[in-house]
Amino acid sequence: MSGGLPFAGIATFLGWPASPGTVPPAEADGRVLVAIGAPYDEGTPYRPGSRFGPASLRQASMRLRFASADGLHFFDLERRREVVLADLAWDVGDVEIRPADQAASFAAIEAAVGAARAAGAIPVLLGGDNSVTLPSLRGLGAPGAVVVQFDAHLDYGESYFGSPDGNSTPLRRSRREGLCSQVLQLGIRGYDNAAASLADSEADGNVVVTAAGCRRGEALRAIEALPPGTPAYVSVDIDVVDPAVAPGTGYPEPGGLDYPLLRSLLLAVGARCDLLGCELVEVSPPHDANEVTALLGTQLLLDLLGAATPPGPKEEVR
């Protein structure tokens, strides 16, 4: 890379080496991460723009080149320790989206996530709107995994304007396709969540915690109720964060989480679970202000991926 300067060179996620389209065979055992862009936002019936998310997240993530030469080793001052994201990481670029052909676009996302998984790597999916969750979980192929979803929205509708494949339905689809064993839905709020979606989710055995509930400690308790080592896929819809903090998104909902609270929950998930894959969705650069949402999005992934590092002796997590 170009001397570690964030504004120079070719932007990849956290400066990880590019390997367009393929995951190179691992030379040794260890944790391997693979960033995959899914520039797809045709699942949104409201404000599009998250198709520009992967490029924005990559560019914003380059800021962290100052902190880490290889994009894998960071010093976490609050935890007073070095965190190591992985032994190795690649950015395989973006999947080939075919405009106006959802089936082909979903198949491409599924194949890319599946290829990362088959290579023994942890896919880190950069969305894209929330509809990409469904093909991602299909590609992951881990029906025993718990999905830990941070979102303002349940995304548990049966269909939206007649379509079952939009960004308001993927968690229900995933659960009922048997792509996961349970969903923890954390940070939920706002009038867009229908009573039927809530009832269906809870009837399916999922756990729903509102944003206010997160502030009362209910989300942390739900995470800590998972058996240690639970296989998990973590889905972060950036709209779980308050829109005053993360304005660049398609469905802003007032009353969201602040960054310190969300960080503490991501650290808890990372410490508790066996992370099989993760995604950061709904960052919409056309609605962003001064790149703050993309910068936050990259930091959330860094927090999550660094959380599996065992806690240090002086660790204090709020």
Closer CB to Mn ion, residue 94 or residue 239?
Answer: 239
- Closest approach, Cβ 220 to Mn ion, in A, equals 21
Check binding of 237 to Mn ion (CB under 5 A).
Answer: yes
Q: Binding-site residue total for Mn ion (CB under 5 A)?
A: 5
Closer CB to Mn ion, residue 243 or residue 306?
Answer: 243
- Closest approach, Cβ 145 to Mn ion, in A, equals 20
Q: Which residue has the tokens 């940070």?
A: 187
Q: Find all residues with CB under 8 Å of 259, minimum gap 6, and list them.
A: 241, 245, 296, 299
Residues 133-152 that bind Mn ion (CB under 5 A): 151-152
- Closest approach, Cβ 167 to Mn ion, in A, equals 7
Closer CB to Mn ion, residue 68 or residue 167?
Answer: 167
- Closest approach, Cβ 171 to Mn ion, in A, equals 10
Q: Which residue has the tokens 């030469």?
A: 69
Check binding of 288 to Mn ion (CB under 5 A).
Answer: no
Q: What is the largest CA-CA distance in the chain?
A: 54
Closer CB to Mn ion, residue 151 or residue 288?
Answer: 151
Check binding of 287 to Mn ion (CB under 5 A).
Answer: no
Q: What is the DSSP string of 270-301?
A: HHHEEEEEEEEE-B-GGG-STTHHHHHHHHHH
Closer CB to Mn ion, residue 71 or residue 285?
Answer: 285
Check binding of 153 to Mn ion (CB under 5 A).
Answer: yes
Contact 161, 45 (CB under 8 A): yes
Check binding of 110 to Mn ion (CB under 5 A).
Answer: no
Check binding of 239 to Mn ion (CB under 5 A).
Answer: yes
Check binding of 253 to Mn ion (CB under 5 A).
Answer: no
Contact 18, 7 (CB under 8 A): no
Q: Which stretch binds Mn ion (CB under 5 A): 57-65, 105-113, 230-238, 285-293?
A: 230-238
Exposed / middle / buried, residue 7 (Cβ in 10 Å: 0-12, 13-18, 19+): exposed
Do strands 73-76 and 81-84 pair parallel, antiparallel, or not at all (unpaired)? Answer: antiparallel
Closer CB to Mn ion, residue 94 or residue 151?
Answer: 151
What is the number of the residue whose Cβ is closest to Mn ion?
153
Reading phi first (left if > 0) and then psi (alpha if -120 to 50, else beta), residue 180 is in: beta
Reading phi first (left if > 0) and then psi (alpha if -120 to 50, else beta), residue 80 is in: left
Phi and psi at 90, nearest 5°, equal -135, 150
Check binding of 189 to Mn ion (CB under 5 A).
Answer: no
Closer CB to Mn ion, residue 90 or residue 156?
Answer: 156
Please give the residue ranges that form the binding site for Mn ion (CB under 5 A).
151-153, 237, 239
